[in-house]
Each structure stands twice: as structure tokens, then as C-alpha cells.
Structure 1
Amino acid sequence: MIYVFTGPTLHADDVRTALSEVEVRPPARAGDVYLACQEGATGIGLIDGYFSGVPSVWHKEILFAITRDIPVFGASSMGALRAAELHSFGMIGVGAIFEAFREGTLEDDDEVALQHGPADLGYVALSVPMVNIRASLRRSVSAGVLSAGDADCLIDVSKKMHFPERSWKSLIQQTREKHPRLRLEELENWLPTGAVDQKRLDALEMVSEMARFYREARVTPAQNFEFQHTAMWETLTRSVEKTGPNREMLLVIDQARVDPTFYADLRCRAASRLMSEQVFEIPQADLNRAMTRFRAENRLYTGEVLESWLAANDLDLPALEEQIAAELRLTAAIAAHRDAFHLAMIETLKADGGYDKLLAEAKRMGMALDRLGTPYPTASDLDINPAMLLIWYFEQVRNQAVPDDLDAFIGQNDFADRTEFEQMMARTYVLWQDEASRGDDYDAPTQPLIMER
């Protein structure tokens, strides 16, 4: 079975018209190509893939497929990017966009990015990709609609726009504001029939090329690299096969988070595998914000107070900045590979010993949630005001005041967002209610079974 990952670029019916025995999948994310291999794919076509919100498809998944003699084609969008990066290892790139990235004419991911609707609305495009704007303006010059200079002005304006904001209407409007001398009426009239969807053209070319490949019984190029089974790769494969953390895993991690010192040590060690195999660059603006937050939390408001604090802690300013940058890199690694991080935490707990006690407690908690009829409680299920729940959790469970910067706390404790944090509080509160109803004299839920390293 051939697997093709597509969404807004090419409709599934177009794929099925070109290829028989094909499984059409949504835009790829991390783990999807590996999963296709495990499901017995005989060929993979990568068109669309996610750039943000969830981890992108890994280069290593594609290399894994190649080592198993599975032809991997790429075009148009994420497929063109990955093919340009991996064509020397055997990935087969197709189309003008791939060629532009391979030759270095295009370099930025935003060239192929676009905003689109959900799957149930057919991934309807809500913006115009930069590569389509470039192709359309080139055609407009050839058609005599625009001069080359005017087309360059439009490209310059479009390139400075954030990709979700790119549309022909907004582009023409902003160009008129910045270049009032330009006459764009003819372009507006020409676009409905003259605009080029280069991404779609490349995707159609790719599925046609795949059809020829299999019709002519071609063979894949000989593998010219050795695949390394690293710890990070093993973590990814486990996360795909287990489809993320189950409830018992979440309950184990809930317990670990109650002790800030224990959790900080656990997260550092669990994330070390991720950090050792991928470099995360921290923008200076993020570092500056983190430094400002650090100084506010520690009341280091003046330069004099900061210098005294640095001296008392045997640090200088560059060393402090490196410590803060290291924490930001750690957080970035965890956010980029959240499921893999959860599994790495469990593996770290197992290596330390005592995981069996935490697991037994998690099972007890799980049975209590089932007995109460709330296997996956949310904040809206509770008979408590959300603000009071927040105060209760910090004062009773964590024995501290509610942090001034709650979002920073949520990030530092590796919750995906506020909703995930509230779900954890809901679980904790339901379990506390269960203890209280059975007559146990507790002011807070059972404290976690903390292990020493």
C-alpha cells in the first residue's frame, strides 16, 4: 500500500485518480512516516505536513523508511522541504518548489506555509502561499500584466507579511499603501483566471511520477548511509507505538510535580536525551524576557542589587545568562517532543527504582476516578469556582501562594497549556474529595511517594 500525506495542497480524490492501492492520510506530523512504515507501506508520498502546533515530521523517519527500501517522494510543501534536505540520502524530490529549495533559490519555510481550515471543511485555504504568489507574478509579467519591477515590489511587500496574513486582497492593499504609484487594476482583473497554484501543480506531478515509478517497476537508489538507533529515536518510536501518555502515566507525573525539587531534577535528566541529539537556538528576545522575569522573581530590581546577588552566588552576568538559556533550551526540547519527554520521564523513574510504588499509587487513583464516575475529570465538572480551585491547589497541595506569573509556572512544569494544567488540578481535587468522603482527615490529597536519587 502506498501512503500519501496531503491536506490543503491536493484533494484526496486527485491522489486516488493517479494512484491505485493508495492510503491518503492527513498532513504529516512527527511519527506519522514511521507509523506508515510499521503498517507495511510500500511507498510514501509527502506533500503536506504541520509546521507549528505539533512537532513536524522528522528527517530521521524518512531515513528510516529509506533504509527499509521504501521509496519516499516529496513535493510542494513540507515534502519539498524534506526532499531538498534529504535528496542526497535517497529521498525523491519532484517539482519546481523542490528544485528551488534544492538549488538554494528558496530557503525559508514560510515560502510554502499557509493558514487553512480543519479537515472536516476540506482543509480550505485561508491564505496564499508565498511560492504561489511568486509563480503567479512571474506569469503576470510574461502575460504583460505587470512589469518585472512592479512584480518585484509586490514580492517584497508579500515577503514581509506573516504567512497567515497573505492573500491577494491584503497584498494589493498594502502594496498600494506603500507604492501608490503602481497601477494594479489590471492585475486584479487578471488574477481570478491567471493565478498559479504552484503547490498543487507540483503535487499532481509528484503523484504522477509515483505512478510511473511503480508502473515501470523502478528500484530505489542504493542506501549510502548508516542509520543510527539513538536514544531520541527509540523514544520517538515508543511514543508512536503507545500513542502518548495514558492515564496511569499522567497520574505518576502528577505525583512527581508536587515536589518542585524532585520534579526539577527529574525533568532535567529525562530531557537530557532530547537535548543531546538536537540543538535548540534561543532567540535573544526570549532570553531577555526570561532574564527580566528572573530578576523580578528574585527582587533584583537594580544593577547594584543584581551585582550583590551575583557575587553572593559566585556568578557573573554571562554565567547567569547561560543558566537561563540552558533552562529555555530544556523547555524548548520538552515542548517540541512532549510525548517522547513523558515516556523519558517514566524510563528515568524506572532506572532510579521506586517506580513500582508510584505506579501502584497511580493505579489506586485511577480506580478511585472510575468509581466516582469521572475517569477524565475537567475543571467544569467540579463543584468549585475555578479561582478557588487554583487557590486550593497551590495553598493546600503545593504549600505556596498562587504564582504571580501563572503562565510561566505552567510552562516551567511542562504543561502543554492552561487547559492541561486545569485537568491536572481537577484530577487532584476529585481524588481529595474521595479521600475526604471516606473519612480520612486530610487537608489535601495524598502526597506523592517521593524517591531519592
Structure 2
Amino acid sequence: MKVYIFTGPTLHAEEGRAELDAVFLPPALQGDVYRAAREHPVAIGLIDGCFEGAPAVWHKEILWAMSEGIHVYGSASMGALRAAELAPFGMEGVGTIFESFQRGELEDDDEVTLSHAGEEDGFRPLSEAMVNLRATLANAERAGVVGSRVRDGLERLAKGMYYPERGYPALLARAAREGLPASELRALRAWLPEGQVNQKRADALAMLCRMREHLASRPGPKQVSYTFARTDAWEEARRRCEPLRLEAGAALPRDSLLEELRVSGRFPRARLGALARALALEESQRQGVEPDVATLQAACDGLRREHGLLEVEPFLRWLKQQRIEEPARFLREEAQVRWVETVLEPEMERCLPDHLRSTGEYGALLERTRRKAHALEKAGLERPGLAEAGLTEEALWRWYFTERLGGPVPAELDTYALRLGFTDVDTLRRAALREFCFLRLESEERPGSGRSSR
């Protein structure tokens, strides 16, 4: 059962793992919840999120995750803000801070904001969140350390400070300059090491506890009452967020893969293939296609045939080589793509000429097709056999694959034929024989070939 938690300065990952078995990730930026949801976890917990230097977590990526059946929880910091805003849609908020925002007692984002060190330093807090200052001062009043007037004054001063400057030493120094009673400030300073409250941490732990208890009951996929709207803005944001991965858990710098494809000359075709796959998946999702067991098996069998992976062990090695960490997801999407290919085959054929025109291939291809048909018809070789071509089966394949295509003869000719779109090896053989005969005829017609022509 996969669970992702976004945290940082509020709660160390080590503390969180003691409460919940989950994958702990750094504070979330815009797109991180979407990327996590793409891994199909049971639940996502949002504690910390960043907002400086990059856009904050988008409400719509949370709505999308929930519409995909993922339970999304929020608490303590950015998670409390988003949970209060999205509670009507089903996001599950936990903790005192969330409840204060939901009731409208707190409204400003800076209540949970603080500055912190980077990941290399464990996201160590460098300032104090306003919600923690409020909770600590309330605790000090209950303990009789300060009175209500001093507490109100300290809260007012803290709220007036820029969030990176908030902290107990700076607050007490400012309170002294403002003339708050020195005796109460001294008592508060002495009491703070033992009495201060980390409300954010307490709420984060409460959320992890709630998630553990809820998920232990095996609640099933999240059910939502809304229909997720796939707007143009959402599609553009989703496109920018799509991850590229090489190794498990390691994001691949996008430019590195693109450079390899471009320098090898494979980028244009890879780009068109990726675009076609994306559109096929989009169409299958739009039509609500959910492959059943038989369809998944057919997709798996087709993939194995096309790659010559009929034995189990080679297929498993292939999955590992291709870094397919989630075979179930990959095969589900493969089945959806193949379903769309079948349904849209007539539309594909209709669009094929214009696609070839856009790549500049259509004119030359059409001219060669007409020239081949005329030459073969004139020679009575529309359907040549091995005898007419003067070849053995072995010689034909050696010519076609080694001399014509510049590669070895495939071990599985049936597999190769299917991959190229032929119905079987017989149709591939016929096409190869037609190509051989056509090239021989053209060679004989060229000047200097030893034959005369008018």
C-alpha cells in the first residue's frame, strides 16, 4: 500500500516514519501532488509546501488526485490551508490549525509561514510560525506566566513582524522596546524552553495517526461528488508536470533524454509517437475505458509477440531493462492505447496522407508507389513468388534485411511482420518480393545496365 507524505520543516521524515509507513517527500511545489498521484498511491498527505521561487501546490491537482480515487489529507502548514479550502470537495483536514482556518478564526497564509534551511540541512526552521507563537502564548497565559494584556500585546507585535524575522528572542526584544512589563517578559523567557508549543508538529503527527487508522480499515478508493473539469489550463499545467524517469525514484533531467533522441536523429518520430500515445490515453479516459482481465492479457500478449518475448524470463528481463516499475499501470495504459488504435484505425488512415504531406514525404512516396505498380504490372509480376524472383526463402530475407534495411534477419519473422503492421509473415514476404522485383526492373531500365530501351 503506497502512501506519500510531503513534509520538511514541520516534521522530520524520521519522526514521521515512526508514526506511519510511507514515502516521505520534501515540501511540495506546484505539480508535486500531481506527480505523486500519477504513481497511484492509496493516499497523499500534505504537510509542508513551498511558495517562494516556484508556484505553490495548485488546488486543481489535489482535486484531480481525489477524482482518481486517492485519499488526500492536509494538516499543520500548507496542508492545513489547502484542506480548509477544499474540505467541501472531500480533502480531509486534521488538527487545530486546520480547524481554525475552517472556522475563519485564522485567515492569513502567513500564520503558518516560516523560513527554513535547505534539504541538505534537513529543512531546519530559521524562524517561528505565527500559529506556534499563538499556541505558546496561550499556554503561557494558562500557566499564569503572563496575563491576557501581555499575551495580546505579544501576539500583536508578532503579527506585525515579517515572517522570516519571527522568533522568541526577536519578539521579546521588541516587546521590551515597546514597554511591556519587564517582570512578565523575564518570566516568559525563563519558561519558554520547557513551555513553548509546536502546534504544527502536533497537528502533523495527528494527521499521520489519522491516516494510519483510516487506511487500516481499507476504505477503498476515494469517492467524490464532483466531476473533474479538464480545462485547457489544466491540460497545459499537466503537460508541464509530466515526469521523465530513468531509474526508480530518480527524475530524469528532461533535456538529457531529449538530447539523446535529437543527436541520434530519432526525435521527430519519437515525438509523434509520444503525442499519439498521449492523445490515445486521453481519448480512452474521456470515454471511460477500463480494460478487463481479458483485454489486459491481450495487450500483454501482443506486446510480447511484437518484441519476440514469448518466454516468461526474457519478458521479465525486458520489463526490468525498460525500467517499468509498475507493470500493472503500464499494461493498463498499453491496453487503452491499443483499444484506441483499433477504434480509430479508419480515422488514422484518413489522416495518414496529410501527415505524410506535413513531413514532406507524400509526393515522393506516391510517385514511387505509382512507378512500382506500373513496372510490376508491365512485367506481369504483381504477385511474384520466390521462383519468379529467382530467390530462395533464405536469400530473400538476407537481401531484404541485410542489404535493403542494413540489419540482421530477425529471429521471429512473425513478430517483425506484426510490428510493421503486416497481418502475417506471408504478406511481409509478398511485399519484400515485390520490392526486390521492382528494384531489379528499375536497375535493368537504367542507362548502362546492359539493356537498351526506347
TM-score (norm 1): 0.53
Residue identity matched to 1:237 = R
The number of residues matched between the two structures is: 252
Partner of 1:203: 204
Partner of 1:38: 38
Does the 8 Å contact 1:41/1:70 carry over to 2? yes
Query: How does 1:268-417 map onto structure 2 within 5 Å?
Result: none
In structure 2, the CA distance between the partners of 1:63 and 1:85, relative to structure 1 (3 Å rule), is same
Asked if 1:148 is matched to 2:126, the reply is no
Query: Aligned-pair RMSD on alpha carbons?
Result: 2.2
Name the SS for the 1:218 alignment partner: coil
Partner of 1:112: 112
Name the SS for the 2:24 alignment partner: strand
User: Which whole-Å CA distance do the structure 2 matches of 1:219 and 1:192 have between them?
Assistant: 44
Shift of 1:42: 1.3
Shift of 1:235: 1.1
User: Which whole-Å CA distance do the structure 2 matches of 1:235 and 1:196 have between them?
Assistant: 42
Partner of 1:225: 226
Residue identity matched to 1:236 = A
Q: Which has the larger radius of gyration?
A: 2
Shift of 1:221: 6.1
User: Which whole-Å CA distance do the structure 2 matches of 1:134 and 1:220 have between them?
Assistant: 37
User: Which whole-Å CA distance do the structure 1 matches of 2:206 and 2:98 have between them?
Assistant: 12
User: Which whole-Å CA distance do the structure 1 matches of 2:256 and 2:20 have between them?
Assistant: 40
In structure 2, the CA distance between the partners of 1:175 and 1:356, relative to structure 1 (3 Å rule), is farther
Residue identity matched to 1:60 = K
Partner of 1:69: 69
User: Which whole-Å CA distance do the structure 2 matches of 1:125 and 1:223 have between them?
Assistant: 36
Shift of 1:51: 2.1
Residue identity matched to 1:139 = N
In structure 2, the CA distance between the partners of 1:220 and 1:241, relative to structure 1 (3 Å rule), is closer
Partner of 1:423: none
Does the 8 Å contact 1:150/1:182 carry over to 2? no
Q: Deviations over 1:37-75 (max 9, x none)?
A: 111211100000012211101000100011011100000
Partner of 2:236: 235
Does the 8 Å contact 1:74/1:206 carry over to 2? yes
Residue identity matched to 2:110 = D
In structure 2, the CA distance between the partners of 1:168 and 1:212, relative to structure 1 (3 Å rule), is same
Shift of 1:217: 2.2
Shift of 1:76: 0.2
User: Which whole-Å CA distance do the structure 1 matches of 2:13 and 2:133 have between them?
Assistant: 24
In structure 2, the CA distance between the partners of 1:229 and 1:165, relative to structure 1 (3 Å rule), is same
Residue identity matched to 1:126 = L
User: Which whole-Å CA distance do the structure 2 matches of 1:238 and 1:222 have between them?
Assistant: 25
Name the SS for the 2:45 alignment partner: strand
Partner of 2:88: 88
The structure whose RCO (Cα within 8 Å, separation 6+) is larger is 1
Q: Deviations over 1:2-40 (max 9, x none)?
A: 0000001011112211222x1110000010011011112
Does the 8 Å contact 1:8/1:48 carry over to 2? yes
Segments of structure 1 that go 5 or more residues without pairing to the other structure are 251-354, 358-453
Partner of 1:348: none
Name the SS for the 1:44 alignment partner: strand
Shift of 1:165: 0.2
Asked if 1:130 is matched to 2:133, the reply is no
Name the SS for the 2:55 alignment partner: coil
User: Which whole-Å CA distance do the structure 2 matches of 1:17 and 1:248 have between them?
Assistant: 38
Segments of structure 2 that go 5 or more residues without pairing to the other structure are 245-252, 260-357, 361-454
Partner of 2:50: 50
In structure 2, the CA distance between the partners of 1:154 and 1:12, relative to structure 1 (3 Å rule), is same
Residue identity matched to 2:32 = D
Runs of 4 or more off by more than 6 Å in structure 1? Answer: 247-250
Asked if 1:192 is matched to 2:189, the reply is no
User: Which whole-Å CA distance do the structure 1 matches of 2:68 and 2:257 have between them?
Assistant: 34
Does the 8 Å contact 2:157/2:175 carry over to 1? yes
User: Which whole-Å CA distance do the structure 2 matches of 1:223 and 1:182 have between them?
Assistant: 55
Residue identity matched to 1:80 = A
Q: Deviations over 1:173-203 (max 9, x none)?
A: 0111112444300000000000000000000
In structure 2, the CA distance between the partners of 1:220 and 1:194, relative to structure 1 (3 Å rule), is farther
User: Which whole-Å CA distance do the structure 2 matches of 1:131 and 1:194 have between them?
Assistant: 15
TM-score (norm 2): 0.53
